[in-house]
Amino acid sequence: MAAPPARARADYDYLIKLLLIGDSAYYRGAMGILLVYDVTDESSFNNVETVRLNFSSCADIRNWIRNIEQHASDNVNKILVGNKADMDESKRAVPTSKGQALADEYGIKFFETSAKTNLNVEEVFFSIARDIKQRLAESDSKGAEPQTIKITQPDQAAAGGQAGAKSACCGS
């Protein structure tokens, strides 16, 4: 069964589905994706980086961005997140500049966070929620252009010569 449209219910403005990706994830219907890596674990960052290879199945795909490109909606919002930013610099394996460079390469936002200290955690979620809401609002406004329907009274010849014939549409 298909998921209801983002504006299907009246008790809220938008229904926003977020996907937190680690080494595996569920893409269908996601409106936003947070690509999270551990700044103290270079292999978690390398899983995010692009390999630029074409594989035939999901099991063969080793990077998240390629998975997203193949399985998520084209317009899904993405944010790259380096977690554990509270860790001592001596334990850091991925410099901030490397994370920012990857985000810049793909044109996505970048944050470093700490789930432990709550550094930038709210900012990440508010940022992706704002971006999704803006995209949905822009999509709504593009599709909300008024449509003009011309309703005409049938002329007497088309109505079989009956002078008082009424249209089934407008009762006139």
Residue 37 forms beta bridges with which residues?
82
Q: Which residues on neighbouring strands pair with residue 80, listed in sequence order?
A: 35, 110
Query: So what's the pLDDT on residue 29?
Result: 78
Is it the case that residue 4 has pLDDT exceeding 70? no
The residue among 105 and 51 whose pLDDT is bigger is: 105
At residue 1, the pLDDT reads: 44
Indicate whether 9 belongs to any domain. no
Where residue 99 sits, what CATH number does that domain have? 3.40.50.300
Residue 122 located in a structural domain: yes
Distance of CA 24 to the CA centre of its chain: 18
Q: Is residue 164 part of a domain?
A: no
For the chain, the average pLDDT equals: 74
137/25: higher pLDDT: 137
Mean pLDDT of 99-117: 92
Has residue 7 been placed in a domain? no
Rounded Cα gap, residues 36 and 151, in angstroms: 55
- Which ranges constitute the DSSP H helices of 14-120? 42-48, 64-71, 96-106
Mean pLDDT of 135-158: 65
CA pair distance 149, 151, nearest whole angstrom = 6
Say if 168 falls within a structural domain.
no
Domain count, the chain: 1
Owning domain of residue 40: 18-142
Q: Which residue has the higher pLDDT, 160 or 76?
A: 76
pLDDT at 63 over 80: no
pLDDT grade for 111, boundaries at 50, 70 and 90? very high
Query: How far lies 169's CA from each of 73, 99, 152, 154, 161, in Å?
Result: 40, 61, 10, 11, 19
pLDDT at 26 over 50: yes
Mean of pLDDT values over 134-153: 69
Percent of the chain with pLDDT over 90: 33
